[in-house]
Amino acid sequence: MRHRRSHVPTEIERKFLVTGTGWRQADGVRFSQGYLCRGEGSTVRVREAGERAFLTIKGPTRGASRAEFEYEIPIADAEQLLKLCDGPVIQKVRHVVVFSGSKWEVDEFLGENTGLIVAEIELEKEAGDATGAATKKAERDQFVFDDLQERVKRYPNDLRLRYELGSVLYENEYLNEAIQQFQLSQRSPKYRLRSLYFLGMSFKKKQQLDMALEQLSAADSELTIMDDTRKELCYEIGLIHEELGDKAKAVECFKKIYQADIGYRDVAQRVEKAYRR
């Protein structure tokens, strides 16, 4: 593996929802990414970016900053690691745009998140320009919250906007605010399942496991075919049962997946281990 940086880096970034289409003039690179671990504010992410792949470890967020370590890995390894990821694999196209002297990364999401477009700006590094970072952070903080609140205020019945806002808030660990948006967006038939999923995952991150189980089970009850969405739900439900100490119910969830897709994540190991007891 090759370490991308020689020092302990700190990432400072802000995210924004996007309107307009001028950014489409920039070339795009297709990304596939998923998370091997998400807990206590730290994450381990595997990402394919065009013909390259990376493993990234991020620490807990402190304001807009978080420690980050990134290693380039073989693309074949990334493909295998993506199959082990916790939650859905996210597909998006990233466009890099230079505007007003700053580099913006505009992500156009695909698949179930089609329609969501998020722009991200990485601010000055804390070690390099603390004053500049603090100034930009204050400006971006004010802008992003004003912008999001204004959009929701302007279109309070736009459930797609509620879902998009919830997704951005969830990604940035604003869990209570995300929950509020997903509670509204679940009214949309198009976004109901994903909203229930993210509601469950938000409660799980808050260690409110009973409510997490209720939301994920509600989503699971609306599906009859063991497709990728239901596998994901069953797996998360199984993990929660396991965390609650109910190993029998956990194994039942993993067995449902096992019977449909023995190669899904680590369900084969979990089920076969249960039979060896």
Euclidean distance between CA atoms 9 and 21, whole angstroms = 33
Marked catalytic residue, from 35, 163, 170, 264: 35
170 is catalytic: no
Q: Which residues of 135-174 are buried (b: 16+ CB within 10 A; e: fewer)?
A: ebbeebeeebeeebeebeeeeeebbebbbbbbbbbbebeb
Euclidean distance between CA atoms 48 and 80, whole angstroms = 11
Q: Which residues of 220-231 are buried (b: 16+ CB within 10 A; e: fewer)?
A: beeeeeeeebbb
Euclidean distance between CA atoms 253 and 85, whole angstroms = 17
Taking the mean position of all CA atoms in its chain, how far away is CA 145? Answer: 20
> Which residues participate in catalysis according to the annotation?
35
